[in-house]
Each structure stands twice: as C-alpha cells, then as structure tokens.
C-alpha cells in the first residue's frame, strides 16, 4: 500500500512538473478574447468579449483573458478528476462528482426561473413590473392574464411538500402534472410512434428502378423490413401462446431483436467513444497544445 501511494505521488509530481514547465515554455492553456464595443452609454461604453483562437493574439483589441484561462485549467482538472474513476473510486473523483451535482441542480433551477417563471408566469401576471425590470421589450399596455394565478397557486401547493405537515396538498398539482403528461403523451405517441411507424412500414415489396428494371436489393430490403416488423410484433404479442406457427414466428422475432440490440449496443458504445475522443481532444488540443487539428495556433 505504501509503495502504491509513493508511486502515485511521484507520478502526480512528475505530471505537475511537466505541466508547469510546458506552461512556462510554450504558454499552453491560455485563452484570448477580443473586446468589442457594442453600445455607448452615459456610464461609458458597453464592451463584450468574444473568445478568439490563440493565433489571433497579436491582433487589435485581443488580450489574454485570465478568468477564461483559469476556467480552461479548471475544466482540464475536472476532466481528469472524472477520468480518474477508471482507476477506482477516489477522493478526486468524489470531489468532482459533488461539484457536478451542485452545479447541475442549480443551473436547471436558474434556467427554469428565467425561461419559464419570468418569461411565462410573471410576464402574464405582472406584465407592467416585468416590462420595467427584466423584459423591457414587452409591448406596452399588456393586461395581466389572471388565469395564470392557477399555476401560481399550484406552484405554492407543490412547494407545500417541503412543509412538515399537509404533504397531501402537493398531490393536486402533481395530479395536474400527471394528467397533462398522460393526455399529451397519449395523443403524441399514438400519432408519431404508432400510426406513423405503421405508415412507414407499408412499403412496396417489388421495387423498380428509374429505368423500370427490377431492383433486387431494394425489393429485398423492403421485404425484410416488412417481415422483420411483423416478426417483432408477433414476439411482443402475448395474448396468444408462443407455440406452433406463432412460436416459430416469435422465434424469428427473437433473432431480429437480438440483431437490433447488438446494433444498438455497438452504436451506443461508438457514441460514447466519440464523446471520449472529444474530451481527449480538449485535453491535448485546447489545454496542452500538443495537437492542432483545427489549426487554432497556426503560425505561432
């Protein structure tokens, strides 16, 4: 155990020395911004900063951004922290996980507040106040929509769940929530996932090409799709015992589903690999400047 600790400490020290040396010599992990004056006011100009590639660092109005540079290093350590879980559960990973939980929960709350509560609820109930504060673009003379008092009341009832007594009060808004979801999903699923999928499966089994010759591959493809969907549906149809002809067809459905699950598995793994490649590119390109696939530092 002691040797293991020593090994990791030495490795971390070497890694830290490499990073410090590289940052001092190459200047990697720096973010540059370009200042742009978007308006002149009595209090002075309103300046926005836009991130630019490091190759543009000598251009006019471009300067090093310390907050974004620190951010880039923080992001790199966050990436490494999460990746460290590959070696097993460790305090570095747990720290990053805790930060992730806190930041993501609060971010969703903030987004919900500004996008829904302000833009939808408060705008409808107190349009005048919103016009004078957060939504100056709101048209003048907009009358309050008092029907929005209902969701306001339901919101208060929902938050009642946090009170020590009377948690049943929160069932009313919850029922609204459940009812709305059920009503909306019932129609949308039947329309897009049931009728539309059946519609897309009704394909010509004999396909001709543009020059009116028989298209073998097209016909085979369509036939396989139609037969495959039917086999899959037979497998999911449990009202009839899976014996005899139905059993044989259901067996074909099992084969089709196995191929589908295999394909979905391969596809999912490759999706995750693409995400991993993106993180590695961030580490090696944006942070360490070891590679430059997007030519961000050309001529430096």
Partner 1 sequence: MKRTVPMIIAATTGFVLIMSHFIPLSEEWGSKAMQWFNVLAAIAFVLGGSNLMRMNLQKISDRRPGWGYAAVTLIAFLVTLSVGLLKVGVQPTSSFPTNAWAAPYNQEGSSLWWLYEYLYKPLASTMFALLAFFIASAAFRAFRAKNPEAIALLSTAFIVLMGRTYVGGLMRDILPRGMEWLSFDSMTNYIMGVFNLAGMRAITIGIALGVASTSLKVLLGVDRSYLGSGDD
* Interface mask toward partner 1 for 156-195; x: CB under 8 A: --xx-xx--xxxx--xxxxxxxxxxxxxxxxx-xx--xx-
| Least distance to partner 1, CB of residue 297, Å | 20
Phi, psi of 229 (to 5 degrees): -60, -45
Q: How many angstroms separate the CA atoms of 27 and 288, rounded?
A: 9
Question: Which residue stretch of 16-24, 108-116, 206-214, 290-298 sits at the interface with partner 1 (rule: CB under 8 A)?
Answer: 108-116
Question: Which residue stretch of 3-11, 15-23, 149-157, 289-297 sits at the interface with partner 1 (rule: CB under 8 A)?
Answer: 149-157
Residues in 2-31 at the binding interface with partner 1, rule: CB under 8 A: none
- Per CB under 8 A, does 229 bind partner 1? yes
| Least distance to partner 1, CB of residue 251, Å | 9
Phi, psi of 52 (to 5 degrees): -130, 155
| Least distance to partner 1, CB of residue 167, Å | 6
- Per CB under 8 A, does 284 bind partner 1? no
Structure tokens at 299: 């001529």
Binding test (CB under 8 A) with partner 1, winner from 10, 12, 106, 129: 106
Residue 36 bridge partners (DSSP)? 48
- Per CB under 8 A, does 127 bind partner 1? no
Tokens 């059993």 correspond to what residue?
Answer: 247
Phi, psi of 172 (to 5 degrees): -65, -55
- Per CB under 8 A, does 72 bind partner 1? yes
Residue 45 bridge partners (DSSP)? 40
Total number of residues shown for the chain? 300
Structure tokens at 206: 């004999």
Show contacts of 18-21: CB within 8 Å, 24+ apart: 19/288
- Per CB under 8 A, does 248 bind partner 1? no
Binding test (CB under 8 A) with partner 1, winner from 102, 128, 204, 248: 102
* 288 Cβ neighbours under 8 A, 6+ residues apart: 19, 22, 28, 29
Question: Which among 39, 43, 40, 62 is positioned nearest to 51, based on CA atoms?
Answer: 62
Q: Compare residues 75 and 207 and give the one whose CB is closer to partner 1.
A: 75
* Interface mask toward partner 1 for 209-228; x: CB under 8 A: ------------x--xxxxx
Q: Compare residues 17 and 195 and give the one whose CB is closer to partner 1.
A: 195
| Least distance to partner 1, CB of residue 15, Å | 18
Question: Which among 264, 200, 189, 201 is positioned nearest to 228, based on CA atoms?
Answer: 201
N- to C-terminal Cα separation, the chain: 45
- Per CB under 8 A, does 108 bind partner 1? yes
Tokens 């014996």 correspond to what residue?
Answer: 243
Q: Compare residues 17 and 189 and give the one whose CB is closer to partner 1.
A: 189
DSSP state of 233: H
- Per CB under 8 A, does 300 bind partner 1? no
Binding test (CB under 8 A) with partner 1, winner from 66, 114, 208, 214: 114
Q: Compare residues 161 and 297 and give the one whose CB is closer to partner 1.
A: 161
- How far lies 145's CA from each of 121, 126, 135, 172, in Å? 9, 8, 16, 22
Residues in 78-97 at the binding interface with partner 1, rule: CB under 8 A: 78-79, 82-83, 85-86, 94-97
- Per CB under 8 A, does 250 bind partner 1? no
Residues in 38-57 at the binding interface with partner 1, rule: CB under 8 A: 38-41, 43, 46-51
């Amino acid at each position: 155990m002691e040797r293991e600790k020593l090994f990791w400490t030495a490795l971390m020290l070497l890694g830290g020395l490499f990073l410090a040396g590289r940052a001092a010599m190459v200047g990697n992990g720096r973010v540059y911004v370009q200042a742009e004056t978007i308006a002149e006011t009595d209090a002075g100009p309103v300046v926005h900063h836009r991130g630019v590639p490091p190759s543009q660092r000598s251009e006019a109005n471009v300067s090093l951004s310390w907050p974004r540079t620190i951010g880039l290093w923080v992001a790199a350590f966050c990436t490494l922290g999460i990746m460290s879980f590959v070696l097993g559960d460790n305090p570095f990973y747990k720290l990053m996980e805790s930060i992730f939980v806190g930041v993501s929960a609060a971010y969703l709350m903030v987004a919900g507040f500004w996008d829904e509560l302000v833009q939808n609820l408060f705008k409808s109930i107190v349009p005048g106040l919103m016009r004078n504060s957060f939504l100056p673009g709101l048209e003048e003379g907009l009358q309050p929509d008092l029907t929005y008092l209902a969701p306001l009341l339901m919101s208060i009832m929902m938050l009642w769940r946090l009170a020590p007594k009377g948690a049943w009060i929160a069932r009313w808004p919850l029922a609204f929530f459940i009812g709305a979801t059920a009503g909306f999903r019932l129609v949308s699923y039947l329309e897009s996932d049931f009728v539309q999928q059946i519609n897309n499966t009704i394909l010509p089994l004999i396909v001709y090409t543009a020059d009116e010759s028989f298209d073998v591959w097209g016909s085979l493809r369509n036939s396989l799709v139609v037969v495959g969907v039917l086999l899959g549906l037979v497998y999911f149809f449990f009202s009839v015992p899976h014996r005899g002809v139905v059993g044989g067809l259901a067996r074909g459905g099992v084969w089709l589903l196995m191929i589908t699950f295999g394909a979905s598995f391969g596809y999912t793994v490759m999706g995750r690999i693409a995400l991993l490649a993106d993180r590695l590119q961030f580490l090696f390109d944006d942070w360490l400047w070891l590679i430059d696939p997007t030519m961000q530092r050309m001529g430096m």
